[in-house]
Amino acid sequence: MEVGNNITTVTTSVLLGLSNNPHIQALLFVLFLGIYLLTLMGNLTMLLVIRADSHLHTSMYFFLSHLSFLDAFYSSIIVPTLLENLLSKWKNISPLECFTQISLVIFSGATEACLLSVMAYDWFHAVCHPLLYVVAMNRKVCTGLVGASWAIGVGTGLVNSILLDQQHFCGPNLVHSFACELPPVLLLACSDPYISIAFILTTMVVLGLGTLVLFLGSYTCIIMTALGINSATGQRKIFSTCFSHFLVVTIFYGSGVFRYMTPASGSALEQVLSVKYSVVTPLLNPLIYSLKNQEVKAAFKRVLARKPRLTF
């Protein structure tokens, strides 16, 4: 801490982590390292398969490739810090590192919310307006939707970081989490965090509710259209995709909304939810989309069946 003009300023924070027991820490390190490696492998494999197989060069998989990249990026924001925390005796983190992590976490969450709703909108056009699908979801439109999703994410993360930087932190400096997240960090502010809290709640309501309404509206139309189809095979394919998407959205919104819309207390439940949406969810997404998707599995087999060609 630095003291000047009778004002104490926190120059470093301490991440309390998940456990102080060395044996439990070692076990958690192995577990989370395995999850992280599987997350990277799963999401990067999805990216490579989508890029390598021409059958997957459609708008649906274009959006899915961005989701896979975002999941790998998001996991890399959180898990390395968690692993370092489990191994280190000193669990200090500087304000700059902490604020950067918060900004990237909010950016990733906002971007993913937009991408999930965009994917629902794309599937809506594919099922409800198949004859106009190629025109409605052309390359220019898809690129614009993805660009808007990333831009909204960047803007949301940046504004939250600027507002957080205006806060005064004078102690204590103990963050009740394994990573820097906005709710537990705001608990340490000595100044009034009203503006930061108001903005993050506004973001959750406007962005979260807006994307959720688009998602639910799209899938209501999809389900109604599917029920009117006479083909059992067609219905099964539509409902299989709906189930996968609903599962991803439920996990994402269920954990994220509870974490950011309720007061932080440092409880065990909050830690479990943080682990769920920051460590487990990025692993589940590629598994859900690949295991339930015959096109992805067929593309993966085609990629593996190709003879490797040496290029110089």
- pLDDT, one tens digit per residue, over 9-33 is 555 666 666 667 778 888 888 998 9
Q: What is the CATH number of the domain that holds 138?
A: 1.20.1070.10
> Which token pair is 299?
């593309």
Please check whether residue 189 lies inside any domain of the structure. yes
Please check whether residue 10 lies inside any domain of the structure. no
Please check whether residue 278 lies inside any domain of the structure. yes
Q: How confident is the model at residue 5 (pLDDT cuts 50, 70, 90)?
A: very low
Please check whether residue 7 lies inside any domain of the structure. no
Burial class (CB in 10 A: 0-12, 13-18, 19+), 287: middle
How large is the average pLDDT for residues 241-247?
A: 76
- pLDDT, one tens digit per residue, over 192-233 is 777 777 777 787 778 878 888 888 888 888 888 888 877 777
Please check whether residue 220 lies inside any domain of the structure. yes
pLDDT at 148: 94
Which of 10-14, 108-112, 243-247 is predicted least confidently?
A: 10-14
Please check whether residue 8 lies inside any domain of the structure. no
Domain count, the chain: 1
E-strand ranges in the chain read 2-4, 7-9, 13-15, 92-93, 174-175
Please check whether residue 309 lies inside any domain of the structure. no
Q: What domain range includes position 152?
A: 22-294
Please check whether residue 312 lies inside any domain of the structure. no
pTM: 0.83
